[in-house]
Amino acid sequence: MKLKFEKLDKKGIDLINIFRKNTKALGSEFSYTAFLSWYENVEIAFCDDTLFLRGCYDGICVYFPPLTNGDINHALLCLPEDITVNFFTVDMVSKLDAKLFDAVSIRDNAEYIYNSSDLINLAGKRYHSKRNHIAKFNSLYKYTFTEYEESDCEDVISLMNSWFKSHDDGSIQKCEETTNKECKMLKFWLENHKQLGLFANVLRVEDELAGLSIGEISPSGVGIVMFEKANIKFEGIYSALTNLFSKEHYSDIEFINRQEDMGLDGLRRAKLSLNPAIILEKFAVSRRKVISLENSNCIETRRLNSDDFDLTKKFFDDEVEKLADKKFFLKYTDDELKSILNGNGFFCGGFIDEKLVATCAVDFDDNYGKILKNAVFSSENELNDEFKDLQFYEYSGIFVADGYRKMGLANRVCSEVLEYAKNHLSPCVLCSLVQFDNIASQSNLKKLDFHWAYRKAYKEYLFDYFLLKV
């Protein structure tokens, strides 16, 4: 079936909003003002009670998840076979036929969802620093927080010029392209904010326009903050601006979506510092490319030992280099790897045609197990008393080589390690440490019945502790 795409107009936007209103969707990907308006040549097609969307960004045609009351798999099969569909959420992915489609998590597209009550009340230890920032801001400055008016326009332009100069990364062309695109969007939002149903507020410090926030409430009842800029010469201004905007517009809703970090480290740290309730994972979905293993008669798993040190070390070195975010896998030191391979652990390797393509391990180090246990029980998390009498072991090294994922290899090696733990270490607790924003690995652990217990910072990492009693 060939879909007939037409230019997105107001009628199409209204149809999208009807679909969104009947969901509990937390994402912003179907918001015209917060998301779709960034794209050029946005087109819509309607067929069999399903909406199809696509648009161009930096010259690339991007397809959005079909909006349908029917079968999402049937809807996807209506699209060209060789395209990728972006911005799928976990809920959408859960409805896909895994035999037909592959879904790959795109961390840079994940959106940060906050409890509105958290950003308004800033209660508890997690927000101690934010409260201090706001107290400092309040003590140092006289300010006003008002609705944007047309008379604020020149001052907004001045704020934007100052902000872009202070954030120039040295690439003049890139800076100009980014500046032009964002300024074009800002002009569109501010000139039409009332017609578009947007909130726009300015923060003035002693009559100088020092901050601007723009947002909306989606048809599904989620607050979306699509723009926030401030002059950092005023101490604590971002904490104050976030808090003021949340109080003004989002006190009657449950969640606030502050959108994605685009892979920018500074922006990621800032969003994480606000303690999101949910990191809304986004996936790119494509037709499944079936890899035939009919001629691979040597698919096997076996325990790795000291003779496999060079092989295993090279596997991790080579594969970690291919990761977009290398913090997602904290490599073993040589001594750690040698210790586990020498018998102070059970290290399982998965092989295809004698090539190492997957790993998983459990570390027998009693002292490190006690460190993990003390860290978990020193937290505010309430654990079952039965855990206190059990030995903790680290469950780690879960890795599948690039090009061999989605073939069940992770499940094979992880299951073997779990089986070993049940037969030789039980009763005990397996503890796995995963980077806070490594959503894919966290999802895999949850499928193995691990549950979240604790979060702790280590150097530039922020680890979540997952536990499983065996």
CATH number of 292-469: 3.40.630.30
- The residue ranges of every structural domain in the chain are 6-110, 115-280, 292-469
The pLDDT of residue 326 is: 62
Residues facing residue 46 across a β-bridge = 51
**In terms of DSSP H, where are the helices of 234-304?**
237-249, 265-273
Q: Which CATH architecture has domain 115-280?
A: 3-Layer(aba) Sandwich (3.40)
For residue 178, what pLDDT is reported? Answer: 56
Q: What does the block give as tokens for 82?
A: 């060789």
Residues of the chain predicted below pLDDT 70: 1, 167-179, 289-298, 324-328, 379-385, 459-460
Q: What is the CA radius of gyration of the chain?
A: 25
pLDDT at 291 (0 to 100): 53
Q: Report residue 167 as tokens.
A: 């954030």
pLDDT at residue 379, rounded to an integer: 60
How far is the C-alpha of 119 from the C-alpha of 332, rounded, in Å?
Answer: 38
Which CATH architecture group holds 6-110?
3-Layer(aba) Sandwich (3.40)
